[in-house]
Amino acid sequence: MNAQKEEKLIFEQSIEGACAANLPACDVPEIKPDYSIPPQLIAETAPELPEVTESQLTRHFTHLANRMMSVDANFYPLGSCTMKYNPKINEWAAGLEGFTNLHPYQHIDDVQGALELMYNLRKYLEEIAGLAEVSLSPAAGAHGELTSVMVIRGYYNDTDRQRDRILIPDSAHGTNPASCALCGMHTTVVKSTPEGLVDLADLAEKVDEKTAAMMITNPNTLGLFDSNITEIARILHDNGAQLYLDGANMNAIIGRVRPGDFGVDIMHYNLHKTFATPHGCGGPGAGPIAVAEHLREYLPVPQVERKDDKFILDYARKKSIGQVRTFYGQFSVLVRAYTYIRALGAKGIKQVCENAVLNANYLAKCLQTHYTLPYNLPCMHEFVISADRQKSRGVRALDIAKRLLDYGIHPPTMYFPLIVPECIMVEPTETETLETLDYFIETMQKIANEVISQPDLLHSAPLTMPVRRVDEVRAARQLDLRWKKEK
Ligand SMILES: *Cc1c(COP(=O)(O)O)cnc(C)c1O
């Protein structure tokens, strides 16, 4: 990966006349098109695209790909994001021609197989949630939250219009309050106890006749399962409010606990996290939502249904919040999630959650000697450590993260949740071997020793990456778009 010569931009590699594709000369007369585009909108010169050979093109992008940290090349313990390996069989299934060549405007009779897959996935997700109905439409976790808040709002528009407030624990993912705000709801923060769980007294004080719901992540972003969850559900239900579960990372409980059984009324999944779709650089994703009986009629359209032997798309739901995504949602992600569930089977899904929890506890226990563990074990699928001891020697969690790159490990999630100083949030996932976990432990211990013996080295890490420490603020504010054509 290291010691490469600097990679020129593809534009800088341009050689006049070079071409990656070799097309035969045109053997039919050229016809001037009859433009319906206004002439002032038509460019007079061709776009300045790079002219390169096929080898230049291939090598350029292969070089760039080789510089990447990725789940296929590196351990990637990003907490609250579930970056596990992406089984190649998922990619095979999503790449099948019968799926990739579908057009969303095709007649319903010609897409029965695709609809059957969606219908079956819907049923699997309903069973895993222990809830009445799933909608596959939302295109990401945050989009699932927004859709859910719209469903909740739809429900209260019919039943109790004054409810416009949503309670959110202080350990929540940032998208939770953002989705509420986008939907015109107000948010109120509920405190955590020193043990990292929802403070029941604070909840009881804040819930009232204006509360529409509480959004909770369980296990929460500290990696702890809130064992008071049925009590939390009772408090909300007694006050006429809904319990919403942020189910972005279900690894710790799928196949073992059904959210519907612990009082959840509505939730979202992140198929791209728990159900293994590659989602580097922010996409693609899918965030299906699951709802209890009383919220069903508000779900978005279209809904994929089975009518006798045929699969249909139902648009005729009177109280539906409407359509939240073009066509049927993020279809190729649905194919991957379906493949993942079918490949594992019911037993395999349960094994996923057992291994995820085992791996996280193993790491947390072994890291305890060199780093502070602010919350007690056992954890679920992830946990947080604090680099507060290292900070007292002038080395921050960020420096540790950068140093991990030199050892070939993608850094964990940093500085989140906000309630833990110098927070490092680790999620190994269920798919890592003991050897990989041990390598991570050894590396973290080595770095803890470096903090004591050579703190300056930590400040200049990474030492071996193609790009060293960047000024992130400046990089975002002053984009350096280097290429300028020489006139
Ligand atoms: C990732 C995540 C989200 C947001 O999901 P996106 O698909 O990135 O929109 C919400 N909540 C939690 C706990 C998450 O980890």
Q: What is the pLDDT of residues 261-309, one digit of tens each?
A: 999 999 999 999 999 988 876 678 999 999 999 999 999 999 999 999 9
Same fold, 89-343 and 352-475: no
Specify whether the CB–CB gap between 268 and 188 falls below 8 A.
no
Q: Which spans in 369-453 are helix H?
A: 388-391, 397-406, 434-453
Instruction: Write down the mean pLDDT value for the chain.
Output: 93
pLDDT, one tens digit per residue, over 452-474 is 999 999 999 999 998 899 888 98
pLDDT, one tens digit per residue, over 413-442 is 999 888 899 999 999 999 999 999 999 999
pLDDT at residue number 484: 63
Number of neighbours of residue 220 by Cβ within 10 angstroms? 24
User: What are residue 415's DSSP bridge partners?
Assistant: none
- Residue 261, amino acid: D
How many degrees, rounded to 5, is the angle at CA 432 between CA 426 and CA 436?
85
Does domain 89-343 correspond to CATH entry 3.40.50.620?
no
Specify whether the CB–CB gap between 199 and 167 falls below 8 A.
no
Does domain 352-475 correspond to CATH entry 3.90.1150.10?
yes
Q: Which atom of ligand 1 is nearest to the CA of 249?
A: 15
pLDDT at residue number 292: 98
Complete edge-to-edge strand list for the sheet that includes strand 413-414: 383-386, 423-426, 413-414
Q: How far apart are CA 305 and CA 333, in angstroms?
A: 19
How many degrees, rounded to 5, is the angle at CA 101 between CA 99 and CA 105?
95
Q: Which atom of ligand 1 is nearest to the CA of 144?
A: 9
pLDDT at residue number 1: 44
Element (H, E) at 352: helix 331-367
Specify whether the CB–CB gap between 245 and 267 falls below 8 A.
yes
Query: Phi first, then psi: what are they for 90, rounded to 5°?
Result: -60, -40
Could you tell me how many residues make up the chain? Answer: 487
Specify whether the CB–CB gap between 135 and 126 falls below 8 A.
no
DSSP letter at 111?
G
Q: How far apart are CA 289 and CA 245, in angstroms?
A: 10
Nearest CA owner, ligand 1 atom 14: 248
Specify whether the CB–CB gap between 190 and 168 falls below 8 A.
yes
Q: How far apart are CA 86 and CA 70, in angstroms?
A: 11
User: What are residue 372's DSSP bridge partners?
Assistant: 386
Q: How far is the CA of 230 from the centre of ligand 1 (A)?
A: 23
Nearest CA owner, ligand 1 atom 7: 141
pLDDT, one tens digit per residue, over 114-135 is 999 999 999 999 999 999 999 9
pLDDT, one tens digit per residue, over 79-88 is 988 998 889 9
Nearest CA owner, ligand 1 atom 8: 141
Confidence of residue 21 (pLDDT cuts 50, 70, 90): confident
Domain boundaries, the chain: 1-67, 89-343, 352-475
Specify whether the CB–CB gap between 138 and 289 falls below 8 A.
yes
Strand intervals (E) in 231-309: 242-247, 266-269, 289-291, 303-307
pLDDT, one tens digit per residue, over 230-273 is 999 999 999 999 999 999 999 999 999 999 999 999 999 999 99
Residues 6+ apart with CB under 8 A from 323: 137, 300, 301, 302
Nearest CA owner, ligand 1 atom 4: 141
Specify whether the CB–CB gap between 165 and 149 falls below 8 A.
no
Q: Which of 80, 83, 381 to mutate to test the pocket of ligand 1 (most atoms within 8 A of CB)?
A: 80
Q: What is the pTM of this model?
A: 0.90
Nearest CA owner, ligand 1 atom 1: 81
What's the average model confidence in pLDDT over 160-184? Answer: 95
pLDDT at residue number 4: 55
What's the average model confidence in pLDDT over 7-22? Answer: 91
Q: How far is the CA of 249 from the centre of ligand 1 (A)?
A: 8
pLDDT at residue number 67: 87
3-state secondary structure of 476: helix
Q: Which spans in 160-304 are helix H?
A: 175-182, 200-206, 229-238, 271-274
Strand intervals (E) in 325-379: none
Specify whether the CB–CB gap between 77 and 223 falls below 8 A.
no
Q: Which of 182, 218, 246, 426 to mutate to test the pocket of ligand 1 (most atoms within 8 A of CB)?
A: 246
- Residue 107, amino acid: H
Ligand 1 pocket by Cβ (under 6 Å): 80-81, 140-142, 173, 175, 217, 246, 248-249, 270, 285, 287
